[in-house]
Amino acid sequence: MLSRLRTRQALVLCLSKMTSAQEKKIRQTGCDARFDNLTRQLYATDASIYQIQPLGVAFPRSAQQASAVIHAAADAGVPVTPRGAGTSLVGNAIGEGLIVDFSHYNRQISDLDLEKRSIRVGAGVVLDQLNDFLKPHGFCFGPDVATSSRATLGGMIANNSSGARCPIYGTTADHVISLEIVMADGRVEKIGASHKSLGNERAKIEDLVRAAAAEMTERWPPGLIKRWPGYGIQRFLRAPDDLTNILAGSEGTLAAIFSAELKISPLPREIGLGLLFFAAVAEAMQTTVELLDLKPAAIEHIDRPLLDQTKGQLHFQAARDLLELDTKPCESILIVEFYEDVAERLSILQSRKIGLRTKILTDPAQMNMVWSVRKSGLSLLTGCIGPAKPVAFIEDAAVRPAQLPEYVRGLESIMKPLGLTASYYGHAASGLLHVRPVLDMHSADDLKKFRQVADQTSALVRRFKGSLSAEHGVGIARTEYMRDQLGDELLEVMREIKWAFDPKNIFNPGKIFEVGTDRRAVPTSQRDVPTRIDNHLRENFSRPIELPFQPVLAFAFKDRSFTGNLEQCNGCGGCLKQSEIMCPTFIATHDEVMSTRGRANIIRAALELRTNGHDPLKSEELDAALSNCLSCKGCTPECPSNVNLALLKAEMLHARWRRDGLPLRERIFSNIDLLGKLGCLTPRLTNRLLDSKAVRVAMEKTIGISSQRSLPHYASERFDKWFATNCSGGLRPPNGAHPPTPESGYGVTGRAPLQRNRGRVILWDDTFVRYHEPHVGVAAVKVLEALGFEVALVKNRRCCGRPAFSQGNLDAAAKLAKQNVTILSLQHSLGRRSLGEGGNAPILFLEPSCWSMFVEDYRELRIEDAENIAARCFLFEKFVDDLLAQEPDALRFKHESRSRGIAIHPHCHAKSILNPSFMARLADRLPGGKATVLDTACCGMAGAFGAQVEKYDLSVQVAQRLLDQIDSQPPGTEVIASGTSCRHQISDLTNLRAKHMAELLADALA
């Protein structure tokens, strides 16, 4: 082990670094440029299987800065790779020189011209951002990549991306009017049909392309709508006055795009989907051809391997139900979309009675549900358990739709003898299936098969006169096949184009043209590795990750392994989106290190000893990645591969604390339940101390608790004490008597039976309810008793362990978990024996982070019997809503009509397990209730996170989305938040006091 580590260290040490002179030159431009190891590791991968560590990353704010930085890099002999969101699948967006990230600052949208149907965008504008801007005007940008939530227009143009609706919109190149580009020598030029710049280059390219016209006709017969063999010379031949035809699809190998003038399209007036279900993929392929006469906007194919990956995933359950996958299984589905004359065309489709069954959808929410499954295709597939994953390398080949059945047979005949399987999904109407053979890239045998499949598929595609890459680009994976696909003549034409733009091979070397294969090429670095499909693979393939610790967590819900879950991150960039719950720190900052992908990449870098100091558990890089993760669990349900950063982080921290000892602050934060107990001994004194400026400054200096943050006060009467003195069948009986409870010996403090007795429920009085917010517990008891439940608390309960778990103090968390499960199990067995129905009592939680501990993390901690206890645990709101769904009159509310709206901010742990819509349903049961679930992610407080002095600003930044949502509500709206930290954050940053749902219900009871 040690010798392997040393070998790795030696390898790491000999990696190239930028010289200080080169670095200085680039810094002098004034452009934000970073050369630290953290940044270099963050940008070493994209969504591909490849890894190349760059020398640095620049983030230009203006075309002038981009020009200066590219000029300086070129002068210093440093290659440049432009980059957007880094969602390229075959290594297009990585390089060993300077990465120029256009996605960080360059997000301006301007010059909307509805008459001309055009708009100007910065290269870093994201497709969804553009479409959100255009929608109110009735327009959209046509090409619809599946990565629309993060793919940038710069990346889309450079990859000539397209999507499902290619039959009506074509590809991105078809929508470019003009481009503002930065050349290798730093010149900023405008190109397009109406611009006369680069006249010499244009004339030269026109001559070259005209001379190759016959060869193009021979090699590329018509019928492919997504053909894309390197540079768009066929497109240019049709419009030789427009150099954008060459730039679009050039994968950053010719120039950098700073901004673009684009064509926009009117939104369709109506949309409808027909879903056709088949017993075999071959049938679906055949049908695709038969449907083209209906002129669909899209025909997409999804098959069973992909659909199977949605099983058990909260995020996709509604779509599974809609498609009736559990009751009416199928092997494959065609999604046929129509724009215009929808009813007529859908009815023709239905009348054809194709396949097993047909389903028609016109409801936008339902149609979106189906599209979300299709769009998450790749990540769903790579989310499969185990080291073998569907690998992207032949995933972008296209043939004419009529050739699909034969092409699929051809692929099967390549893979079958090698014992390989694959999913076949994608843009059937364009003849493009994203086929990803399932390979274990850690295994030498599978690496051989990887090459065999690539070689044979290249030959197969050539036989069909198809296109090896149709929308994802050539990248690293397909560069070595360019000669095979294009032939010498066309490849030479493209090489001449490259030299016309970039004579020193500065831009993205090694993509489209192999490194070192041209006499004129300037060597790009001391590590001139030829571009081959099997070079530059991610390090964990050739050197399996060795953990310097024994993981303690089970990763029970998916991979059952730390490394397995870590390797689930395929770089797809789903966590770079600006909506929903994953990942709130990226949404707030736009920084790669603040994304789930960034964090997973840095954990991998640390374990591969690529961090400074080569300590796998402790480094600045790891701190930057892990300490800012809120452990909000947003990634658990939303990352289609189920990367679970909260668990990965807890495990990494735990390994470090075990080795180095638990720091004081983490120890304190792990023990807030004990602090609560102590604080409540002398609440007035403690609260006075907590409010004292001097004490707070001292706390900030010694243990790093921000003095800007209010600390929760201790209650004058603890909730459990209140409960013990107020139980005689009703709430606060007149005489305040508290009869002894017969069950106290069984670990549960019970209350006397009620008139309408529904049996017993156990209320989990968490740390916050018990010591800080007893009124929430009182309200819950009031509601539960009104429903007819006998409420009990758990005697001698311990803290649920969430605070310790969040700090990576997993030994302490496991100890607490074991004690709680033992108490509850004992109560269960004794209860069953002596209390009849009482022993199985549901356990209700007011605090979602405690509930998620019981239902998820106790199992992760491998606590015996945790599963049985989890089955009895319910979120208070869900329990009440489920009951009211069966018996709407079980609670009687005051009949005053509510004039105030209700805005609900659900806790992210609740959202990670349940669809939060039930909370609005519950609040809507109040007379006149008008509830909205706010579109928020984590509140930013995240337990103790927001109280740390160095995290305060980030915590407030993350909260901004919640604050904006609250601000947008009508005045007087009541804000409901079930998490104590969420309520705390809201009261710290607004003038509002948010309530728990229990309070809302209790206040409204008749």
Residue ranges that bind ligand FAD, judged by CB under 6 A: 46-47, 81-89, 92-93, 102, 123, 145-147, 151-152, 154-156, 158-159, 161-163, 251-252, 256-257, 378-379, 471-472, 508, 572
| Coil vs helix vs strand at 712 | coil
Q: How far is the CB of 937 from ligand SF4 (least distance, A)?
A: 8
Token output for 107: 């997000």
Nearer to ligand FAD, 163 or 946 (CB): 163
Q: What are the two backbone dihedrals, phi and then psi, of residue 912, each rounded to the nearest 5 degrees?
A: -75, -15
How many residues touch ligand SF4 under the rule CB under 6 A: the total is 28
Nearer to ligand FAD, 501 or 719 (CB): 501
Question: DSSP alpha helices (H): ranges in 377-481?
Answer: 377-382, 404-415, 444-463
Q: Which does 633 bind (CB under 5 to 8 A by kind): ligand SF4, ligand FAD, none?
A: ligand SF4
Q: How far is the CB of 51 from ligand FAD (least distance, A)?
A: 15
Instruction: Identify whether the C-beta of residue 233 lies closer than 8 Å to the C-beta of residue 254.
Output: no
Nearer to ligand SF4, 76 or 603 (CB): 603
| Coil vs helix vs strand at 711 | coil
Q: Does 583 bind ligand SF4 (CB under 6 A)?
A: yes
The secondary structure of the chain in percent helix, strand, coil, rounded to multiples of 5, reads: 45, 15, 40
Q: Which does 26 bind (CB under 5 to 8 A by kind): ligand SF4, ligand FAD, none?
A: none
Residues 6+ apart with CB under 8 A from 491: 230, 482, 483
Helices 672-679, 683-691: axis angle to 10 degrees equals: 110
Pairing of strands 139-140, 265-266: antiparallel
**Considering only residues 372-401, where is the footprint of ligand SF4 by CB under 6 A?**
379
- Rounded-to-integer distance, Cα 770 and Cα 750, Å: 16
Figure out which of the listed residues 281, 432, 607, 632 binds ligand SF4, where binding follows CB under 6 A.
Answer: 632
Q: Does 809 bind ligand SF4 (CB under 6 A)?
A: no
Residue from 316, 297, 333, 432 nearest 372 by CA = 316
What does the DSSP assignment read for 24-82?
HHHHTTT-EEE-SHHHHHHTS--SSSB----SEEEE-SSHHHHHHHHHHHHHTT--EEE
- The 3 state secondary structure assigned to 941-996 is CCCCHHHEHHHHHHHHHHHHHHHHHHHCCCCCCEEEECCHHHHHHHHHHCCCCCEC
Nearer to ligand FAD, 86 or 801 (CB): 86
Residues 6+ apart with CB under 8 A from 923: 902, 904, 929, 931, 976, 997, 1000
Q: Does 569 bind ligand SF4 (CB under 6 A)?
A: yes
- Rounded-to-integer distance, Cα 636 and Cα 630, Å: 13
| Coil vs helix vs strand at 241 | coil
Instruction: Identify whether the C-beta of residue 416 lies closer than 8 Å to the C-beta of residue 210.
Output: no
Q: How far is the CB of 147 from ligand FAD (least distance, A)?
A: 4
Figure out which of the listed residues 570, 619, 741, 936 binds ligand SF4, where binding follows CB under 6 A.
Answer: 570
Figure out which of the listed residues 252, 584, 831, 943 binds ligand SF4, where binding follows CB under 6 A.
Answer: 584
Nearer to ligand SF4, 188 or 635 (CB): 635
Q: Which does 643 bind (CB under 5 to 8 A by kind): ligand FAD, ligand SF4, none?
A: ligand SF4
Q: How far is the CB of 379 from ligand SF4 (least distance, A)?
A: 5
Q: Does 146 bind ligand SF4 (CB under 6 A)?
A: no
Q: Does 596 bind ligand SF4 (CB under 6 A)?
A: yes
Q: Does 436 bind ligand SF4 (CB under 6 A)?
A: no
Q: Which does 985 bind (CB under 5 to 8 A by kind): ligand FAD, ligand SF4, none?
A: none
Q: Does 901 bind ligand SF4 (CB under 6 A)?
A: no
Instruction: Identify whether the C-beta of residue 553 lies closer than 8 Å to the C-beta of residue 808.
Output: no
* Length, in residues, of the chain: 1006
Q: How far is the CB of 174 from ligand FAD (least distance, A)?
A: 13
Q: How far is the CB of 182 from ligand FAD (least distance, A)?
A: 8
Taking the CA atoms of the chain, what radius of gyration do you get in angstroms?
Answer: 30
- Rounded-to-integer distance, Cα 513 and Cα 521, Å: 10
Nearer to ligand FAD, 597 or 760 (CB): 597
**Considering only residues 711-750, where is the footprint of ligand SF4 by CB under 6 A?**
none
Nearer to ligand FAD, 161 or 767 (CB): 161
Q: Which does 471 bind (CB under 5 to 8 A by kind): ligand FAD, ligand SF4, none?
A: ligand FAD
Q: Which does 25 bind (CB under 5 to 8 A by kind): ligand SF4, ligand FAD, none?
A: none
Q: Which does 252 bind (CB under 5 to 8 A by kind): ligand FAD, ligand SF4, none?
A: ligand FAD
- Rounded-to-integer distance, Cα 139 and Cα 236, Å: 27
Binding part of the chain for ligand SF4, among 198-206, 322-330, 549-557, 639-647 by CB under 6 A, reads 639-647
Instruction: Identify whether the C-beta of residue 177 lies closer than 8 Å to the C-beta of residue 242.
Output: no
Q: Which does 599 bind (CB under 5 to 8 A by kind): ligand FAD, ligand SF4, none?
A: ligand SF4
Instruction: Identify whether the C-beta of residue 232 lies closer than 8 Å to the C-beta of residue 157.
Output: no
Q: How far is the CB of 398 from ligand FAD (least distance, A)?
A: 11
Q: Does 572 bind ligand SF4 (CB under 6 A)?
A: yes
Q: Does 346 bind ligand SF4 (CB under 6 A)?
A: no
The tokens 């006055």 sit on which residue?
241
Nearer to ligand FAD, 65 or 809 (CB): 65
Figure out which of the listed residues 18, 646, 903, 923 binds ligand SF4, where binding follows CB under 6 A.
Answer: 646
Give contact residues for ligand SF4 (rule: CB under 6 A).
Answer: 379, 569-575, 582-585, 596-597, 599-600, 629-635, 639, 641, 643, 645-646
